[in-house]
A and B are shown apart, each in its own frame.
Chain A
Amino acid sequence: DTAVSQTPKYLVTQMGNDKSIKCEQNLGHDTMYWYKQDSKKFLKIMFSYNNKELIINETVPNRFSPKSPDKAHLNLHINSLELGDSAVYFCASSQGGTGGKFRAYNEQFFGPGTRLTVL
């Protein structure tokens, strides 16, 4: 199946721990994203990578560090977890590029999400 996949689906951990979430897409896209969905269901962009290069870095604490080993993978590492980090984290991908020239490339496809609970 062509898709965006994430692991793990659920992550329960103690405050202060360090954890990672992995994302992989086999759609052949060259841009990947991390979004956070809070308890009110608001989806907000955190980071975006295009061909392994960071292109969007919203106001996110330094404890969050994305890493893209290749254009099919984007991982999210979180240090010193806090209670407020509890949320659902979604990975997404799109064909990317400059976007303006290739309209269809703007469409973003999302993974199933990782529910992070910090106790």
Chain B
Amino acid sequence: EDQVTQSPEALRLQEGESSSLNCSYTVSGLRGLFWYRQDPGKGPEFLFTLYSAGEEKEKERLKATLTKKESFLHITAPKPEDSATYLCAVQAGGAQKLVFGQGTRLTINP
């Protein structure tokens, strides 16, 4: 069965303090790994898709990387507005469904 595990569950940083969120996955035939951001009371907002090991994507202070077993979401010099829950999901085999991890709740203190 496809599995996605995110760590840590919660992370508290000071503004400007860079860090990384981890997403480990076990799937049969990865078709894509997705990162989403979810603010309280809202739906997940699409950030990135990564398709193959070695691929990297960047958006503002966020950079996502992918290996054969895990993905990292690096956040550089974060600001309080980056506070949110970050969700990782995989799409595998012939299925179109996304299998999500439990998320990392990120808090950036000013």
Contacts and interface: CB of A to CB of B under 8 A. Distances in A.
Interface of A: 4, 31, 33, 40-45, 48, 50, 55-56, 58, 90, 92, 94, 96, 99-100, 103-104, 106-113
Contacts of A104: 49
B59 interface: no
Given A43-B44, A43-B87, A103 B51 contact: yes
A106 B45 contact: no
A107 B34 contact: yes
Interface of B: 31-32, 34, 36, 41-46, 49, 51, 85, 87, 89, 91, 94-100, 102-103
B95 A56 contact: yes
Given A48-B97, A56-B97, A110-B43, 15 more contacts: A40-B102, A41-B102, A43-B44, A43-B100, A50-B96, A58-B97, A90-B44, A96-B96, A99-B96, A106-B31, A106-B49, A108-B98, A110-B36, A110-B44, A111-B43
B83 to A, nearest CB: 15
Contacts of B51: 103
A84 B34 CA distance: 28
